[in-house]
Amino acid sequence: MPDTPLAVGPGDSAEFMYERGVVLARDGEEACLVEDTVRMHFTEAVDLSAEYVYRASPASNRSGITRIQVGDPLDGDWRSDRAVAGALRALREAEGRAGRRLVSRNHVVSIAPVNAGPGYEPVPAPLSQGTNPAPAEDRYNSDSAVGVLVIDNGLTHDYQFAPLLAHVRGYPHTSETDSEGNLLQYIGHGTFIAGLLAAVAGNTDITVHNTLNDVGAVLEDQFGQRLFDVIDRHGWPDIISLSAGTSNGRADGLLGVEAFMQELRLQRTLLVAAAGDNASATPYWPAAYASLPDFENVVLSVGALRSDGEYGACFSNHGSWVKAYAPGERLTSTLTGFYAAAPYVYQRSTPDACPFGFTYLCNCQHPRHTSARSVADSSTAKADQVMFEGYAHWSGTSFATPVAAGMIAAHMTAYKESAARIAVEQLLASNTEFAEVRGAHRPALLPPTWRPLPVIQL
């Protein structure tokens, strides 16, 4: 989002990103209360200006959210926004009286963590080795196929050349390459997810949306509306696979998707959502709705296992709000370059140690590559350019999520169960696999065609 001034928070933890100069409130009376309270507070505060406080959007959005401008977005920098912090502070007393949150930052909802390291860039994989998970044997049947809607950043232009994606349709990326013809970062994310779903569950109708733009990010106030827009176009599917989100430092939900989540509850759709890649126990939304009382069996939150399936991956978020784990490190799936190889230049250099302090050879550290950015500071180094010829290895809870969603779809086909919310309950109740995640034994969903890879201890 190059045109939106952003800051990171909370404090130095940099767990989320948000829009500077703007807060969100529920439409109607609450928006008026927030606007008035902030203006009053800023008028009394000598170092904050009330002149910028006004409602920046009318109450016309189905997400039920109003943007309230509270400061000049060009003030401050990426480390802090004093106007937004002041507005949150101004409402504390009123929130205490109301017994619920009235105001929120406008967070960035994205497919990658704020400090995405090199482990979040794909690595070429030979077509001859096939995908991992490998394609399951269940055959496609248009009468019984499970409908899966992937809300992500779109499909690569050549995805139809991959036989595995025969029953995938959807929306293309708007632009895939930079001025030199290199793939942009995160291009292929949605195609990789579609390949995992199609491999784990052959009897699926998969639609990949480009709701999250090519870079895989959208502001919270637009996210709720876009979710409604996608459903308007496609109807409620059996399963939504969502590999994006944000934390917000709270345990009671994300204001921007509140209206959508309440509507979802009344439907039959199961939302399978990524737990996030901050190596943190802080709830990440919408995944963490899985732990709120009204959303049991409505939402499944999915963390990632490392490549041997025995333990949690270094980057995976964790905590009691993560309901299941699935393989999410060095998976192999479809990307791009099926008929003409697609070049890619790495954006980050491999660090000397796992930034999360893990001591196995994790995806943060291997395989090694040198980024274009570090080359700019050096006269001798050369950025690593690779060529994609169809398949890639990639890691993240983004990819553990469609693996879990695929297992639910495969269960629906195998047991002729038409309700995804019942299928997820049955699957978790009958599951006998567990993995160790930060000292706790957690349910592990391991597809039969997934091949564990040995882990090297450092």
- Beta strands, E only, 47-97: 54-55, 65-69
The residue within the footprint of Zn ion, chosen from 183, 362, 386, 445 (CB under 5 A), is: 362
Q: In the complex, what is the shortest distance from the CB of residue 320 to Zn ion, in angstroms, rounded to a whole number?
A: 23
Q: How far is the CB of 15 from Zn ion (least distance, A)?
A: 17
Q: By CB under 5 A, is residue 313 in contact with Zn ion?
A: no
From 149, 183, 231, 364, residue interacting with Zn ion (rule: CB under 5 A): 364
Q: How far apart are CA 307 and CA 78, in angstroms?
A: 35
Angle between helices 397-414 and 420-430 (to 10 degrees): 100
The 10 Å Cβ neighbour count of residue 168 is 25
Residue 201 has a CB neighbour count (10 Å cut-off) of 31
The set of residues, in sequence order, having a beta carbon less than 8 Å from that of 73 and lying 6+ positions away, is 4, 5, 19, 20, 21, 22
In the complex with Zn ion, the residue whose CB is nearer, 211 or 398, is 398
Among the listed residues 162, 314, 423, 424, the single contact to Zn ion using CB under 5 A = 314
> Rounded to the nearest whole angstrom, what is the least distance from the CB of residue 316 to Zn ion in the complex?
10
Binding segment (CB under 5 A) for Zn ion, from list 51-59, 220-228, 348-356, 415-423? 348-356
Among 354, 386, 403, 407, binds Zn ion (CB under 5 A): 354
Torsion angles phi and psi, residue 18, rounded to 5: -145, 165
Q: How far is the CB of 425 from Zn ion (least distance, A)?
A: 33
Q: CA 63, CA 49: separation in Å to the nearest integer? A: 29
Strand, coil or helix: 186: coil
Distance CA 264, CA 350 (A): 40
- Closer to Zn ion at the Cβ: 311 or 338? 311
Which has the closest alpha carbon to 70: 95, 104, 98? 104
The interface region with Zn ion, picked from 190-198, 345-353, 363-371, 431-439 by CB under 5 A, is: 363-371
Distance CA 398, CA 309 (A): 16
Which is nearer to Zn ion, 131 or 365 (by Cβ)? 365
# of chain residues touching Zn ion (CB under 5 A): 5
Q: Is 279 in the site for Zn ion (CB under 5 A)?
A: no
- Nearest CA-CA partner of 213 in 185, 179, 181: 185
Q: Which two tokens stand for residue 133?
A: 């998970």
Q: How far is the CB of 437 from Zn ion (least distance, A)?
A: 14
Q: Does 23 bind Zn ion (CB under 5 A)?
A: no
Least distance in angstroms from the C-beta of 327 to Zn ion: 16
The Cα 161–Cα 329 span in angstroms is: 25
Instruction: Give CA 288 to chain center in angstroms.
Output: 12
Q: How far is the CB of 391 from Zn ion (least distance, A)?
A: 23
- Site mask, Zn ion, residues 123-162, x = CB under 5 A? ----------------------------------------
Residues that bind Zn ion (CB under 5 A): 314, 354, 358, 362, 364
